[in-house]
Amino acid sequence: MKPLDCDVIVAGGGLAGAAAGLALKAAGLAPLVLDAGPAPEPGAAFDGRAYSTPPGSVNFWRGVGVWPAVEAEAEPMRDILVSDGRVSEGASPLFLHFDHREVAGAGFGCMVEDRHLRPAAFAALGDALRHGARVVSVEAEPGRAVARLADGSALSARLVVAADGRESPLRAAAGIGRIAWDYPQAGMVSAVSFAEPHHGVAHELFLPAGPFAILPLRGNRASLVWTERRAEAARIHALPDADYLSELEARFGDFLGALALEGGRWTYPLSFSLAHEYVAPRLALLGDAAHAVHPIAGQGLNLGLRDAAALAEVLAEAARRGEDIGDLAVLRRYQQWRRFDSAALAFSMDALNRLFSNDVTPVRALRDVGLGLVNRAPALKRMFMRAASGLGGAAPKLMRGEAV
């Protein structure tokens, strides 16, 4: 029989696929990450994408050797202010304040721009990453999986990981169904600079159409994730910059002084997706291919990192015991670990979005009182902070800062 080309083929080199490749390398396995897209241009300009990276995710990137290349560009999040508001009215006085002094150690983590994180992850993968390589099918054979590529070639490994994004053609081809729906909302993403310093404070403002997040970036800038009804998002997106800024100011207020747009702006339709199974013979799903969540708390990629860390840990342990790492019994351990955690988070993000994206007066009054009450209950606040840190629940070793 022809020898295997590597231990694990990762189909999809987005950030979750790249993270999986790096975690598998850190676990002593030989992965090959294949991405359908072209290699990114070096030195790309800011494209609006930035990720909230809680302490567990910082540990992950440090553990796989990427953090030193991005640390200097990451902006720590010192405080988080959550408030309820209406356009042109400003925030409700009953807000929730998460203060970095209330959490031990690494605080709330950092904001990291995609233009720094993605190239650093790709550089750390080195020869284990190939661009321009589209996987068109995966076949499970005895003892191996064979991935066929669009150029007609084929590669074999013990296992194929599908990290091919929320529409995941490989999940569909494996016959794995999913629960999915579209939100009536779109997420508008842009970056702004301010006249006044932001002091590392992140704001989550709940407006009737959905959450509006202001997330601190280096150099007195912030990444905005602004949720609107789809038709309204399309209208605002089409406005010239000056009118877009006025719409922004109506929601954002003027507490940080004059605003200026930094670079472009993007609009993403929002949807929910949760695969019924995360594994099939010689196949494991990971990242958005397994679960796509509402960006209300910026947790999507962080879930993908937990998948990558958990999969690497399960496979490393199986390899140490002499088991076949592509065996379905081994893969089910990964599914058991990750499916409940990601489903619980996906449904809580959905519930939060439903609770906060409306303007019904009794609901609004109740949630304002709720925010005020949580603010005065230190134990509850600590519970929320732990859940958001990426260290809660059964966090894999890489998220806890330990070697695989």
Ligand X SMILES: Cc1cc2nc3c(=O)[nH]c(=O)nc-3n(C[C@H](O)[C@H](O)[C@H](O)COP(=O)(O)OP(=O)(O)OC[C@H]3O[C@@H](n4cnc5c(N)ncnc54)[C@H](O)[C@@H]3O)c2cc1C
CB atoms within 10 A of CB 226: 25
Binding of ligand X by 16 (CB under 6 A):
yes
CA 279 to chain centroid = 20
- Interaction mask 238-257, ligand X, x per CB under 6 A: --------------------
Binding of ligand X by 296 (CB under 6 A):
no
Q: Which of 300, 326, 390, 396 binds ligand X (CB under 6 A)?
A: 300
Q: Which of 85, 107, 109, 295 binds ligand X (CB under 6 A)?
A: 295
Cβ atoms 285, 275 nearer than 8 A = yes
- Cα-atom radius of gyration of the chain, to the nearest Å? 21
- The distance between the two most distant Cα atoms of the chain, rounded to a whole number of Å, is 70
Q: Which of 56, 109, 169, 390 binds ligand X (CB under 6 A)?
A: 169
CA distance 109 to 132: 34
The secondary structure of residue 38, as a DSSP letter, is P
Stretch that binds ligand X, among 10-18, 152-160, 348-356, 393-401 (CB under 6 A): 10-18
Q: Which of 21, 48, 107, 165 binds ligand X (CB under 6 A)?
A: 165
Minimum CB–partner distance for residue 305 and ligand X (Å): 8
- Interaction mask 48-77, ligand X, x per CB under 6 A: ---xx-------------------------
Residues 337-356 close enough to bind ligand X by CB under 6 A: none
Minimum CB–partner distance for residue 54 and ligand X (Å): 9
Query: How far apart, in Å, are the Cα atoms of 33 and each of 20, 23, 126?
Result: 9, 12, 10
Minimum CB–partner distance for residue 187 and ligand X (Å): 3
Cβ atoms 230, 147 nearer than 8 A = no
Q: Which of 14, 55, 119, 396 binds ligand X (CB under 6 A)?
A: 14
11/191 with CB nearer ligand X:
11
Minimum CB–partner distance for residue 329 and ligand X (Å): 25
DSSP string across 350-374? HHHHHHHS---HHHHHHHHHHHHHH
122/337 with CB nearer ligand X:
122
Cβ atoms 120, 42 nearer than 8 A = no
Determine phi and psi for 348, rounding to 5 degrees. Answer: -70, -35
Q: Which of 4, 8, 9, 13 binds ligand X (CB under 6 A)?
A: 13
Minimum CB–partner distance for residue 161 and ligand X (Å): 11
44/369 with CB nearer ligand X:
44
Binding of ligand X by 225 (CB under 6 A):
yes
Minimum CB–partner distance for residue 202 and ligand X (Å): 10
Sheet holding 8-11, edge to edge: 129-130, 31-34, 8-11, 159-162, 283-285, 279-280
Nearest to 151 by CA among 123, 130, 166, 169: 130
Q: Which of 301, 310, 385, 395 binds ligand X (CB under 6 A)?
A: 301
In total, the chain counts a number of residues equal to 404
What beta strand segments (E) does 210-257 contain? 210-217, 221-229
| Side-chain half-sphere exposure of 275, counting CA atoms within 13 A | 29
Binding of ligand X by 37 (CB under 6 A):
yes
Residue type, 93: P
Binding of ligand X by 298 (CB under 6 A):
yes
Q: Where on the chain is the footprint of ligand X (CB under 6 A)? A: 11-17, 34-37, 51-52, 134-135, 163-165, 169, 187, 189, 225, 268, 287-288, 295, 298-302, 304
